[in-house]
Chain A
Amino acid sequence: MTIDTQQALFGFALRLGDTSLVLGHRLSEWCGHAPELEEDIALTNIALDLVGHARLWLSLAGEAEGQGRDEDRLAYRRDVFDYRNHLLVEQPNRDFGHTIVRQFLHDAWAVELYERLATSPDAGVAGIAAKALKEVRYHVQHSAEWVIRLGDGTAVSHAKTQEALDRLWPYTGEMFEADAASSALAAAGIAPALADLRATWAARVADTVAEATLTRPADGWMHKGGLRGEHSEHLGYLLAEMQFLPRAYPDAVW
C-alpha cells in the first residue's frame, strides 16, 4: 500500500503520540505511590514530559489529517482499534522494577529516534523531536541508572529486575517494525527507517544490562499488533479510565 506524505505523517505522529500518551499515563499512575518521595517527583516529571510529547504529536497528527481533530479529540474519542501505540508501553506497572525496565527499553529507543528526527527536513517533525530529545536524554539516564541499581542491588532486586526484563523483552521487536506510515516517511527522507535504530539501541541496552549484572534475553518470538490496533487486554481498561468523562458527557467542554 502506498500513501501520500500527509497520510504518512498522520500515521507516524499518531504512533508516537499514542506511545507517549499511554506510557505517560502508566507513569502517572505512580504519582503519590512511589517507593520514595524524591522518586515520586522524578517519575511525575517524566510522565509530564511524555504527556507533553503526546500533545505535540497528536496536534501534528490532527493537522496532517486535516479533518479538524485536535489533541483531545484524538486522545479521548478513539477506541483501542484506532490506537497505534507500541504494546510495550501499555503493559501494566506491576512493580517498580517492571516500570523501570519498561521505561528503559522505551527510552533507549526514543533517544535513537529523536536524535535522527531532530534533523528531519520536515520542520514540524524536527521541532517536536528537538524539544523532546533534551527530555528523553534525561529519561534514559534516569531509567538506566535505576536498572543498574536494581540489577546490581540486592538478591531480591536482581531477581525481580531480571524477571521484568525477561517478561518485557518480547515486546521490544515492535519498536523497530515498519508500517506503511513509517516506510513512506523513510522513503521521503523525513524519518529514519526504524530498523536502522536497532543496532545502537541494542548496544546501549547491552551495556546497561551488563553493568546491572543482568542477562540479556535472547531475541526470540516477538509480540506484534499495536501498529494495526490489535492490543493487549490492558489498553481497553486504560482507555476506559482515561476517556470516561468525555465519553459520559459528550457535549461538555472542560
Chain B
Amino acid sequence: MNHTASDRKDWPLFEIFIRPKNGLSHKHVGSLHAADAKMALGNARDVYTRRGEGVSIWAVPAAAIAASDPADKASLFEPADDKVYRHPTFYEIPADVKNI
C-alpha cells in the first residue's frame, strides 16, 4: 500500500470544550479527529478527561466555527476601550450613600 494523501479521507476535526465542574463555563481544551459527533464525544472523554478534568463535554465541528479576523482587531475591539460609561467607576456617588 502506498501513502498518498489522495487515497483517503481524514476524519473531520472537532474542537473540544470541557466544563471543569458545575457552575463554570465550558472551556476550549483542544481538538481531535472523529468520524462523527458521537465518536468525537467518546474520544474527547478518553483524550481530554483522563485525569478527571471535567463533568461535561461539547464537541463542535471545527468547520462550524465562525471566527473574527485578527486584522479587524482595531475596528472590532478598540472602540470599547473608551466607553468608560459602561463601567461603574464612571459614576460618582457620595461616599455617604451605602449599598450601591
Contact = CB atoms under 8 A, between A and B. Distances in A.
B46 A41 contact: yes
Contacts of A41: 43, 46-47, 50
A36 interface: yes
Nearest to B40: A38
Contacts of A141: 42
Given A36-B33, A149-B35, A42 B42 contact: yes
A38 B46 contact: yes
Nearest to B45: A138
Contact of A42 (B33, B35, B43): B43
A246 B25 CA distance: 49
Interface string A43-84: 001000000000000000000000000000000000000000
A42 B33 CA distance: 13
Interface residues of A, number: 12
A45 B32 contact: no
A38 B36 CA distance: 13
B39 interface: yes
B34 interface: yes
Given A41-B47, A45-B50, A145 B35 contact: no
Interface of A: 36-39, 41-42, 45, 138, 141-142, 145, 149
Interface of B: 11, 32-35, 38-39, 42-43, 45-47, 50
21 contacts: A36-B11, A36-B33, A38-B32, A38-B33, A38-B34, A38-B39, A38-B47, A41-B46, A41-B50, A42-B42, A42-B43, A42-B46, A45-B46, A45-B50, A138-B45, A141-B42, A142-B42, A145-B39, A145-B42, A149-B35, A149-B39
